Amino acid sequence: MSSSFSTTNPAQKSEHTLAVLDDYLSLSETHFSSLPIGVSYFPSTLHAEHDTAALVARLQPYNMISSMRERTAFPATILAQLPNLKLLLTTGVRNASIDMSCCKERGIVVAGTKGTRHGETGAPPPGYASTTQHALSLLLALTSRVAVDDAVLKNTGGWQSGPAIALAGKTLGVVGLGKLGGAMARSCILGLGMRCVAWSASLTPQKVREVCDELGLPEGSIACVGKEELFAQADVVSVHYVLSQRSRGIVGREDIAKMKSSAILVNTARGPLVDEDALFEALDQGRIYGAALDVYWGREPLEPDSRWRTTPWGRDGRAQVVLSPHMGYVNKDTMETWYAEQAADVRRFIEGQEVGLRLA
């Protein structure tokens, strides 16, 4: 990630200034460069909890901020120190890291994005969720040993490192059968020939029947089971819960202990949904086959010395682990669409119009 930089349209003078945060792939400038305001880019993340003073100093001059998902948090302790802030742009339709009540109290408009691109050739169709594609990619990378064999071929001169795992006939356990969980279930049932069971705190057999109907699956394609049954039966557990105070740690030590020694856990939702220490211990001791993770606990980007990076996975009895850097939503189509929506909202705001999707 490069250092911060600023751009200004010299033909315009404006009272408005915009700080663009956490654009790791430098995709936003194309959309913001034509705005009649000064724009500054800060691609390196500062964390609200650990870098409070530096983050406040960075953001105090600006009355508009573009944020990307939950990479930078905006709790009340930060918002209270940003007296100039009038517009806070985020992406998607929710952001648990922004204190919405505080924004309302302080008169800060929070704008989300719908992520829609109508009529463009090659654009993803309505309802497409890139996180599902990524969850499936992680599962296949682990079970087909793609990452391990790629490293063997490139770095050691070796050939086949071990047998792949056939998924047809195996059981997928979906924790959270919402839009993303349902899409994962459908992909694995139709594409891989897997059986599927599902659980959430509020899931009922009637709701499962409705989900099957919405997904175009025959009734009975997904079974509604208890939590204990899911973790005991599933060959693959895929987590698709929304993180909240109630759901934090929803996959606990006891749940992980019930998993088969041949089982795999996939998490593309949020790290804190799973008990980190319990999962790490199970993997480090080889008590389950493996895990495929796109989300983590604490800071992101993941610290260079994080045990998730440095542990020699797959050696000395340890489980197989495939990691990706929170890429579930990071595809070019989605990111470009989000930044285009944010740029349009900046124009609306400076012209005194309502933003496209107001969250607070």
157 phi-psi bin (left φ>0, alpha ψ -120 to 50, beta other): left
Q: Would you call 134 a catalytic residue per the annotation?
A: no
Cα distances from 54 to residues 22, 44, 46, 85, 167, in angstroms, run 15, 12, 7, 16, 48
**Using CA of residue 150, residue 151, residue 156, residue 159, what is the dihedral sign?**
negative
Does the active-site annotation cover 50?
A: no
**Among all chains, which residue has been given the structure tokens 């404006």?**
14
**Residue type at 49 in one-letter notation:** E
The catalytic position among 145, 240, 326, 341 is 326
Which residues lie across from 5 on neighbouring strands?
41
**What gap in Å lies between CA 177 and CA 188, rounded to an integer?**
14
Out of 300, 318, 336, 347, the active site residue is: 300
Spot the catalytic one: 58, 71, 270, 341: 270
- Interhelix angle 179-186/205-215, nearest 10 degrees: 60
CA distance 226 to 235: 16
Note whether 358 and 53 are within 8 A (CB). no
Strand partners, 106: none
d(CA 297, CA 326): 11
Return the DSSP state at 266. E
Name the DSSP class of 242: P
Q: Is 318 a catalytic residue?
A: no
Instruction: Show the CA angle centred on residue 38, arms to residues 50 and 106, nearest 5°.
Output: 55
By DSSP bridging, strand 17-21 and strand 38-42 are: parallel
B/e letters for 75-95, b = 16+ CB within 10 Å, e = fewer, are eeebbeebeebebbbbbbeeb
The set of catalytic residues is 270, 300, 326
